[in-house]
Structure 1
Amino acid sequence: MSVDEVEARPRRRRAETVERLLDAALETFAEIGFAAATVEDICRRGGFTRGAFYSSFHTKDELFAALFTRETARNLARAEEQLAGLEDEDDPVTVAVERCLSAFRADRTWVLVHTEYALYATRHPEAASALRRHAEQLHRRLTLLIEAAATRIGIRLTLPANRLARIVLALHDGVVIREVLGGSPGSGSAGDRAASDLERTALLLLLRSATSADPSATH
C-alpha cells in the first residue's frame, strides 16, 4: 500500500462517517422534526457516539447546512441528467416534465424536512439567514440549468430564467406537501395520483406559457 493510500484512509473514513450522519439526520428530522430531534437521537439512529458527531459538526444547524448542500446537489444532478438529450425530442417541454416528475419522486422526504426547518427558522433569525443563503445558492444553480437547457433545446424564455426557477421550486415544494397530506408515502392512493397529476398539469401550463420557439434555433 502506497503512502498516498495510507494517508487517504482517514479522509475516506471521515467522509463515510459524515454521509452516515447525514442519512441518520434526514431520517430523524423527517420522523420527529428538526427542533425536537437531539444529537443523541441522530447518533443513536446512525450508530455513533456524541464524539463522532462533534468531530464532524459543531451544531445541528451546521449539520442541516451540510444536508441541504448534499440533497440539493443530488436533485440538481438528477435534473441535469434527465434533461440531457431533450434537443432530439419532438416535444422537449412535455418530455422534460415527464422525466423530471419521475426523477423527483425520491426527494419527498427532503422536501418535508426542508419545510419543517423553514418553520423553525421563522423563530430563529440565524437559521433564517442561513436558510436564505442556501436557498439563493439553489436558485442560482437552477437558473443556470434552465438557461443552459433552453439554449440547447432551441427555445426562448418569455420570462427571466431566475423568475421561472423560483416558480418551479415553489410549485414543486407545494405539491409535494399537498401529496403527503393526501396519502402516506408509497401508498399509491388517489390523493397521491391527484397531486402528481396536478403537478404535471401545472408544470406543463407554466413551461408552455414561459417558452416559445427561438427563430434562430435549428431545432
Structure 2
Amino acid sequence: MDKREFLKIAGIAGAAAMVSPKGLFAQSAATPGILDQKAPFTLPELPYAYGALEPSIDKMTMEIHHDKHHAAYVKNLNDALPGTAYASLSLEQIMAKVTEKDKAIRNNGGGHYNHSLFWTILGKGGGKPSAKLAKAIEKAFGSMEQFQTKFNDAAKTQFGSGWAWLIVKKDESLAVAATPNQDNPLMTQIVKETGTPILGLDVWEHAYYLKYQNKRPDYISAFWNVINWAEVEKRYEAALK
C-alpha cells in the first residue's frame, strides 16, 4: 500500500465522523473522568499540537489518526448504542460488560477508549518513570531494560492490528499484555489478561505507516522517546486506589 492509497483509505474511514460535527471537541482526554462519560461520546482534544511529537511521530499521522480514525470510532459508537443495553452506561461500564457478539460496540467503544488513553500518555521529551513506578517495574520485570524488551516484544509480535499494554492487575502487580484490533484489558468478558491499562501502544498500521512504512520495530523504538511518564504515573496511582 503506497502513501496515496493510505491517505485515501484514511479519508474514507474518517469521513463519516465529520457528518455531525457537534461535540467532536469537548472534554480533554487528560481529564480523569473520561471513563465516567456517557453517550453521546465526544472526541477529546489532543493535549498538544499535531507536530509536537516530531520526529518520533509525524504531524500528518497525528492529524489523520486523531481527526479521522478516532473521530470515526466515536461517531460509530454513538450510532451503535441506541436501543441496546449499553445505551445508558459509562464508557468504563461498557468496556467491562461488552461481549464478543456486540461487534460494533466492542470495536468502536474500544477504539474510543484506547485512543483517548493513547493521546494522554504521549508527550515531548521522553524522560523516566518516577521512583515509585520504577520500583514497581523492577519488581515485576527485573529492570527497566527487561520491561522495555518484554513490552517491545509484545508490540512486535502482535499479529496484524492491535495494542501492547502495561497494566495493573487486581493484586496491584504490573504485567505486559497485548490485544488484537481495538480490544483492551478492561474487557473482562473478552480478553484473558485483564487489568487497568496505564500505558498503551497502538500498533495498527495507520499509527505509523506514513513515516515508518512496514518498519514497525522502528516505530516501537521511537515510542520510548515520547512517553509522558507523569501521566503514566497518575494512571498507576489511580489504579492502585
**Structure index of larger Rg:** 1
User: Which has the larger helix fraction?
Assistant: 1
Q: Same fold (TM over 0.5)?
A: no
Compute the TM-score of the two structures, normalised by the length of structure 1. Answer: 0.28
Compute the TM-score of the two structures, normalised by the length of structure 2. Answer: 0.26
